[in-house]
């Protein structure tokens, strides 16, 4: 049903799968059923407070139940959902959400699958690149921005192509930068693998050569980002839908950003540590 993740992060027009309960389907028009739609609190940027704030849903689903056109089912309907900043009580985010099904529900199944999607939002989705990411990407930040624009329109195939291109462009540098973060014991193996990396031009092969040497500290919750990247790049998208490509594009984007940030943070920490040590030694 309507979730925090859907409202906060999904681009316009991207379908979010949900399950309708058929038993209550016939009761959708009654006050109770529509009022029971979830109203999750959101964490969004407030332009008035100039910071991330909690936003609570301000309007009630109840008023949708009053008009006769929306009496029976939310399917095919558009709901306006307004969220107000808890910090200043003035700034709002508004979403227009459509409920739909691709196929009519079959006979006596108790539930049937459908989707919700945003068909509009205010303020609009912003194509805004984090300054640090922009700097780390250099010339490729232009491609990155185009990838985000495609993503904002749910053009998954286009978005995938842009993020993939960036990976191809920066993979050598990325793998080299990671070598500083590799555990001492694996360093030699990693250097050897990097030598082999230089001999291939295929991005998937490069990643395959080094992915198993990634230290656990770079695998959040045991998930190896290089393995995710590898599988997203090898997916072969020629017969995939925009929807499927969006998911792959998101994986590529998230892994790239994660690695770029990890590399930067660790370098900063090392630098700070060195400077502190130098100051300590001077005092002696």
User: Contacts with Zn ion in 44-103 (CB under 5 A)?
Assistant: 46, 48-49, 53, 85, 87-88, 91
d(C-alpha 271, C-alpha 253), whole Å: 27
Closest distance of CB 55 from Zn ion, Å:
8
d(C-alpha 17, C-alpha 24), whole Å: 18
Binding mask 125-154 for Zn ion (x = CB under 5 A): ------------------------------
In terms of CB distance, is 88 or 223 closer to Zn ion? Answer: 88
Binding mask 3-42 for Zn ion (x = CB under 5 A): ----------------------------------------
Q: What is the DSSP letter of 222?
A: G
Closest distance of CB 46 from Zn ion, Å:
3
In terms of CB distance, is 46 or 256 closer to Zn ion? Answer: 46
d(C-alpha 274, C-alpha 281), whole Å: 11
Q: Are 203 and 233 in contact (CB under 8 A)?
A: yes
In terms of CB distance, is 28 or 91 closer to Zn ion? Answer: 91
> CA-CA distances (angstroms) from residue 75 to 6, 99, 145, 154, 174?
17, 5, 34, 21, 46
CA trace torsion 174, 180, 186, 190 (10° rounding): 40
Q: Are 21 and 111 in contact (CB under 8 A)?
A: yes
In terms of CB distance, is 46 or 255 closer to Zn ion? Answer: 46
Closest distance of CB 47 from Zn ion, Å:
8
Q: Which residue has the tokens 């990407």?
A: 137
Long-range contacts (CB closer than 8 Å, 24 or more residues apart) made by 111-114: 111/19, 111/20, 111/21, 111/22, 112/19, 112/20, 112/22, 113/17, 113/18, 113/19, 113/20, 114/17, 114/18, 114/19, 114/20, 114/75
In terms of CB distance, is 87 or 100 closer to Zn ion? Answer: 87
Q: Are 154 and 11 in contact (CB under 8 A)?
A: yes
Closest distance of CB 182 from Zn ion, Å:
44
Q: How many residues bind Zn ion (CB under 5 A)?
A: 8
Closest distance of CB 4 from Zn ion, Å:
18
Closest distance of CB 90 from Zn ion, Å:
6
In terms of CB distance, is 46 or 57 closer to Zn ion? Answer: 46
Q: Are 35 and 61 in contact (CB under 8 A)?
A: yes
Closest distance of CB 151 from Zn ion, Å:
26
In terms of CB distance, is 84 or 252 closer to Zn ion? Answer: 84
d(C-alpha 74, C-alpha 25), whole Å: 9
Please report, as ranges, the residues that interact with Zn ion according to CB under 5 A. Answer: 46, 48-49, 53, 85, 87-88, 91
């Amino acid at each position: 049903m309507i979730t925090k993740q859907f409202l906060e992060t999904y681009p316009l027009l991207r379908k979010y799968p949900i399950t309708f309960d058929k038993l209550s389907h016939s009761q959708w028009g009654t006050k109770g059923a529509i009022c029971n739609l979830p109203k999750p609190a959101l964490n969004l940027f407030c332009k008035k407070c100039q910071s991330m704030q909690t936003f609570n849903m301000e309007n009630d689903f109840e008023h949708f139940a009053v008009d006769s056109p929306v009496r029976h089912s939310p399917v095919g309907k558009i709901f306006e959902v307004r969220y107000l900043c808890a910090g200043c009580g003035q700034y709002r985010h508004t979403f227009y959400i459509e409920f739909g099904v691709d196929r009519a529900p079959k006979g006596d199944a108790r539930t049937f699958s459908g989707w919700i999607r945003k068909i509009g939002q205010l303020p609009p989705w912003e194509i805004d690149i984090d300054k640090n990411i922009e700097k780390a990407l250099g010339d490729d930040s232009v491609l990155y921005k185009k990838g985000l624009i495609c993503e904002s329109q749910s053009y998954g195939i286009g978005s995938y192509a842009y993020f993939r291109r960036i990976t191809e462009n920066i993979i050598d540098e990325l793998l080299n930068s990671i070598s500083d973060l590799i555990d001492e014991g694996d360093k030699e193996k990693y250097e050897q693998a990097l030598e082999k990396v230089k001999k291939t031009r295929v991005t998937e092969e490069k990643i395959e050569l080094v992915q198993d040497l990634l230290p656990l500290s770079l695998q959040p919750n045991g998930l190896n980002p290089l393995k995710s990247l590898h599988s997203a790049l090898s997916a072969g998208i020629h017969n995939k839908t925009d929807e499927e490509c969006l998911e792959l594009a998101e994986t590529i984007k998230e892994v790239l950003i994660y690695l770029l940030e990890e590399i930067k943070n660790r370098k900063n920490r090392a630098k700070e540590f060195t400077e502190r040590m130098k100051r300590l030694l001077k005092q002696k």
